[in-house]
Copies of this chain bind each other. A is one copy, B any other.
């Protein structure tokens, strides 16, 4: 490896932190060909700068990088990751994809591979931040009034901004799925916006963990025949899925 300057070395450490969630001091020392003291100094500086959390033996990432590490450990989030992996296989390269606000869609955005080139639109600041990390993704942010509960822009301005865009594919978030496969949301404006986006998209996908099948939210978003793909986990009552499939919807069960 070519000799690196301080800033480059720290930048590289930061990159590894983001990617792997953690770094080991001794490994970095031999990797860069410097003493462990130097690495420790680097980590200390980066920690005081708030770029990482110093721990005995190395350092941990802060923020999303660290949550992905936690996700690797946590079982519940492991399911979302599986879902996300399956979702990504639905995305053709070089197309325009819309990501609706929501934690499941955030997981999909985070899981996008670095070598996938596409244009991504979203109404969620959190998803926008995640997408910003993907080098080949051009990000379009949909503005509007920020809905605290939904975690994304809604309202007239959001719809106006969305009217300029026709996604090839959209991932709609849902709060609940009723017996007939209908999607629902907790907010009136949120539901209206989802509806608008779904109507404009060539292809509508819904990624939902199994607990969504046990929730019914007050505002309807779309019936089963208004979306094209339902992405979910194993262990759902086959009768529920059948009714959705009968409406002409593709069912993808992740992890099978």
| Residues of chain A having any CB pair with chain B under 8 Å | 5-8, 11, 14, 22, 24, 46, 49-51, 53, 55-58, 60, 65, 68, 71, 73-75, 77, 123, 125-126, 128-129, 131-132, 135, 138-146, 148, 151, 153, 157-158, 161, 164
Residues of B within 8 A of A125 (CB): 125-126, 128-129, 132, 141
A74 touches B56 (CB 8 A): no
CB-contact partner of A143 in B6, B50, B75, B140, under 8 A: B140
With both chains docked as a complex, state the minimum distance between the C-beta of A26 and any C-beta of chain B, in angstroms: 11
> Could you tell me the dominant secondary structure of chain A's interface residues?
mixed
Residue of A8, A77, A146 with highest tally of chain B CB at under 10 A: A146
- Chain B minimum-CB-distance residue to A68: B132
Residues of B within 8 A of A71 (CB): 11, 14, 51
CB-contact partner of A132 in B11, B142, B148, under 8 A: B148
Query: Assuming the A-B contacts A126-B125, A145-B138, are A77 and B50 also in contact, with contact meaning beta carbons closer than 8 angstroms in the complex?
Result: yes
A128 touches B146 (CB 8 A): yes
